[in-house]
């Protein structure tokens, strides 16, 4: 038996190989194979991108959720990865789709996270839509895919976002709405309808009541001062 000592270092390296070759035998004949290839691998040297938590629980009125995405590996290199959302019991929104719970990010170039040299953490931004519906707990998934310059880590390439149950007052005096307003080029005004409910059966005497109309999570613009309106 012949021992080969492998030297451990702190450098980030790809897998490396060397060969052990038998030659010039004395008083014996060489048999096949007379050569062996040894590959040196170190899992700690492999660049991996991952989400550190498998689950995130939030309230519906959080507005924005920033999910950390971390990269372990050679800090002298660069890495890109796509962060996208996948629908579960919660519904993702794209323009013109109503009754949504979050703004969806597609799995394409518009959702790329780019790690520069010496960067080890980025955030994947999720916009949560706070509507006036009475809803039970819902969930969706945020996933990493198509890494360039590394690989997906085993813990975790995907995280589950749980939106906790939200019980609003809508349903007795008005019908709650959640609607995406899409302003096409040249448009400067949009309208939406709120249905007010009349008391049926046994009407009750009620004084003045109010509810709020709230505009939030804009994309391509910022909210003005009159982003919130109180209805009589």
Q: What angle do CA 207, 209, 213 make, to 5 degrees?
A: 170
CA distance between the termini of the chain: 90
Q: Are 158 and 143 in contact (CB under 8 A)?
A: yes
For residue 123, what are the β-bridge partners? 68
Nearest by Cα to 81 from 156, 127, 149:
149
Tell me the whole-structure pTM to 2 decimals: 0.62
CA distance linking residue 16 with residue 39, whole number of Å: 6
Within 109-185, strands assigned E span 112-115, 121-128, 138-148, 151-152, 158-163
Nearest by Cα to 213 from 198, 191, 187:
191
CA distance linking residue 81 with residue 150, whole number of Å: 9
CA trace torsion 115, 72, 83, 65 (10° rounding): -100
Please, which residues have CB within 8 angstroms of residue 86's CB and are 6 or more apart in sequence? 140, 141, 142, 143
For the chain, list the domains and their CATH numbers. Answer: 16-44 (no CATH), 48-163 (2.60.40.2030)
Q: How far is CA 115 from the centre of its chain?
A: 16
Q: How far is CA 199 from CA 19, 60, 107, 196, in A?
A: 87, 29, 47, 10
Q: What angle do CA 122, 127, 128 make, to 5 degrees?
A: 135
What is the chain's pLDDT, residue by residue, as a tens digit (232 residues)? 778 888 877 776 667 888 988 888 888 888 888 889 988 877 666 789 999 999 999 998 888 899 999 998 877 788 999 999 998 887 766 543 445 788 888 888 889 999 998 899 999 999 888 766 677 899 999 999 999 988 999 889 999 999 998 766 545 676 666 677 788 888 888 887 777 767 665 667 777 877 777 777 777 888 887 656 565 5
Q: Are 144 and 49 in contact (CB under 8 A)?
A: yes
């Amino acid at each position: 038996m012949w021992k080969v000592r492998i030297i451990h270092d702190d450098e980030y390296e790809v897998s490396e190989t060397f060969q052990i070759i038998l030659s010039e035998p004395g008083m014996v004949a060489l048999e096949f194979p007379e050569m062996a290839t040894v590959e040196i691998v170190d899992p700690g040297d492999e660049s991996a991108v991952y989400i550190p938590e498998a689950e995130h629980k939030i309230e519906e009125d959080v507005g924005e959720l920033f999910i950390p995405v971390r990269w372990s590996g050679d800090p002298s290199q660069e890495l890109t990865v796509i962060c996208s959302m996948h629908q579960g019991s919660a519904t993702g929104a794209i323009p013109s789709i109503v009754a949504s719970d979050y703004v969806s990010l597609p799995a394409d170039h518009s959702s790329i996270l780019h790690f520069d040299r010496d960067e080890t953490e980025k955030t994947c931004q999720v916009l949560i839509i706070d509507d006036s519906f009475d809803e039970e707990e819902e969930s969706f998934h945020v996933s990493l895919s198509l890494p360039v310059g590394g690989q997906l880590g085993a813990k975790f390439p995907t995280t589950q976002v749980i939106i906790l149950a939200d019980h609003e007052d809508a349903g007795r005096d008005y019908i709650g709405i959640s609607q995406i307003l899409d302003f096409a080029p040249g448009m400067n005004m949009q309208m939406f309808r709120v249905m007010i409910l009349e008391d049926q059966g046994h009407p009750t005497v009620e004084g003045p009541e109010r509810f709020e109309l709230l505009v939030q999570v804009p994309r391509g613009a910022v909210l003005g001062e009159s982003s919130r309106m109180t209805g009589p």
